[in-house]
């Protein structure tokens, strides 16, 4: 029985190391924060470029120029399938949130696609004001 458990574990480990992650499509992708998308049907854009095996650069924004509101993103991410491990900077500025001041998120963040959603959603959703939830999405 002991050997069967060990063999099962080794087989499972072998299978997991050979599971390939589907590459992320490079080029332009839609990018949104719900506060701008609610009033503006035009999504922002990010540009994704492959820089290494399962590693990509990303840069872009969504803006409402009339209201001077925006969300920007710049950095790199590791593709883990339904999870993107992002490292970089995300800045959002919405006039009615955080006293109208920019909210800056630096360093490691996680984007996750779940269920049948066609986007990865930022999992660190709390705005700098400590009260507001931001939905920042990168579409497939």
3-state secondary structure the chain: CHHHHHHHHHHHHHHHHHCCCCCCCCEEEEEEEHHHHCCCCCCEEEEEEEEECCEEEEEEEEEECCCCEEEEEEEEEEECCCEEEEEEEEEEECCCCHHHCCEEEEEEEEEECCCCCCEEEECCCECCCCCCECCEEEEC
* pLDDT at 102 (0 to 100): 98
Taking only the tens place, the pLDDT of each residue in 125-134 is 999 999 999 9
* pLDDT at 1 (0 to 100): 55
Confidence (pTM): 0.82
* Res 13 pLDDT > 60: no
How many beta carbons lie within 10 A of that of residue 88, not counting itself? 17
Taking only the tens place, the pLDDT of each residue in 60-108 is 999 998 899 999 999 999 999 999 999 999 999 999 999 999 999 999 9
Taking only the tens place, the pLDDT of each residue in 15-58 is 544 457 889 999 999 999 999 976 667 899 999 999 999 999 99
Asked if residues 111 and 122 have their Cβ atoms less than 8 Å apart, the reply is yes
* Res 7 pLDDT > 80: no
118 is written with which tokens?
Answer: 């066609």
């Amino acid at each position: 029985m002991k050997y069967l458990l060990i063999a099962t574990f080794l087989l499972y480990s072998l299978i997991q190391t050979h599971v390939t992650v589907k590459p992320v499509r490079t080029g332009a992708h839609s990018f949104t924060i719900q506060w701008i998308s609610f009033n503006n049907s035009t999504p922002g854009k990010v540009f994704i470029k492959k820089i290494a095996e399962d590693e990509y650069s990303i840069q872009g924004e969504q803006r409402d120029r009339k209201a001077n509101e925006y969300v920007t993103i710049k950095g790199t991410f590791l593709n883990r399938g339904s999870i993107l491990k992002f490292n970089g900077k995300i800045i959002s500025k919405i006039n009615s949130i955080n006293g109208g001041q920019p909210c800056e998120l630096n360093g490691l963040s996680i984007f996750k696609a779940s269920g049948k959603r066609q986007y990865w959603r930022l999992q660190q959703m709390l705005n700098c004001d400590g009260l507001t939830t931001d939905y920042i999405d990168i579409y497939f």
